[in-house]
Structure 1
Amino acid sequence: MTSATPDAEAMKAFNKSIVDEFRANAGKVGGQFANADLLLLTTTGAKSNQPRLTPVAYLRIDGMMIIVGSYAGADINPAWVHNLRANPLARVEVGIDVFDVTARELPAAERDEIFPKVVAVAPGFADYQARTGRVIPLFELQRV
């Protein structure tokens, strides 16, 4: 089963409201993300070379900070995946803490080992994986 790609303008507006709420409340947001661990990820656009800001859920698995390129189960990766593959240096905001990271995409074997642990913590990612034919990538964010 495949999933439609989210509408770009709707996603932009939705993400802006999450970013605004995140920054106004020291990293806390309500609604569907009320109990989620969110960070703000600033990547460098792969084509534009411009900063790109995206709210992303993160998980701590086996001592690693992991982000999941699920895009709600769409058949394409979120833009930040493409950006990190082109330039793995990024900046994150976690609560009021801001720091630089290097993103490391987990290779297939490691991704396959870690993904069940991701699903154990956040079962929704299993639904997203079931909606798409692509393998949802996982990235470890390592503080620089």
Structure 2
Amino acid sequence: MLYGKEHVETYQRTGGAEGHDWNGTTILLLTTRGRRSGRSYTTPLIYQPHGDSYVVVASKGGAPEDPDWYANLLADPEVEVQVKADRFRARARTATDEEKPELWALMTATWPDYDSYQLKTDRPIPVVVLERA
């Protein structure tokens, strides 16, 4: 998370007028269903549009394990997304090996630290495509 609950609440309250633009990049809100709890969890994530979809990165800052939101969407790929005031249902999927180089380049262009995060971990950092339902 970027700055957690406060970021999510401000983004939701203002329809993204506050919280969408962050540290020179753009943020969406991703809501997943907890794979064990069944509860909804909303996470602010750096994103880029790609065609009719949106792309996010499951980096967790280069931690050895995937972020919880990624494990949740693997268990249930039906998610909710908010980009500014636009809220919609989407289906999340991990980018294929063929897609990943182009999408990784798109995301590192907006957040170069992703390259250093990948160097910090042995796991391949997943790139996620969010397709509007």
TM-score bin (small chain): 0.7 to 0.9
Kindly report the root-mean-square deviation, in angstroms, between the aligned alpha carbons of the 2 structures: 2.2
Question: 2:49 is matched with which residue?
Answer: 60
Alpha-carbon distance in structure 1 between the residues aligned to 2:97 and 2:36: 26
Question: 1:3 is matched with which residue?
Answer: none
* 1:111 partnered with 2:106: no
How many equivalent pairs are there? Answer: 132
Q: Give the counterpart letter for 1:22 in structure 2.
A: Y
Question: 2:112 is matched with which residue?
Answer: 123
Q: Any idea what the Cα deviations from partners look like across 1:102-136, whole Å, max 9, x if unmatched? A: 00111223223421232223212111111111111
Q: Any idea what the Cα deviations from partners look like across 1:14-60, whole Å, max 9, x if unmatched? A: 31011122123331228x92432111111011111111111111112
Q: Any idea what the Cα deviations from partners look like across 1:65-115, whole Å, max 9, x if unmatched? A: 101001111111110100110100001111111110000111223223421
Alignment of 1:71-110 (within 5 A): 71-110=60-99
Q: Which has the higher helix share?
A: 1
Q: Which has the higher strand share?
A: 2
State the shift of 1:64 in Å. 3.4
Q: Give unpaired runs (5+ residues) of structure 2.
A: none
Moved over 3 A (4+): 61-64
Alpha-carbon distance in structure 2 between the residues aligned to 1:20 and 1:91: 15
Q: Give unpaired runs (5+ residues) of structure 1.
A: 1-10
Mapped contact 2:30–2:80 kept (Cα < 8 A): yes
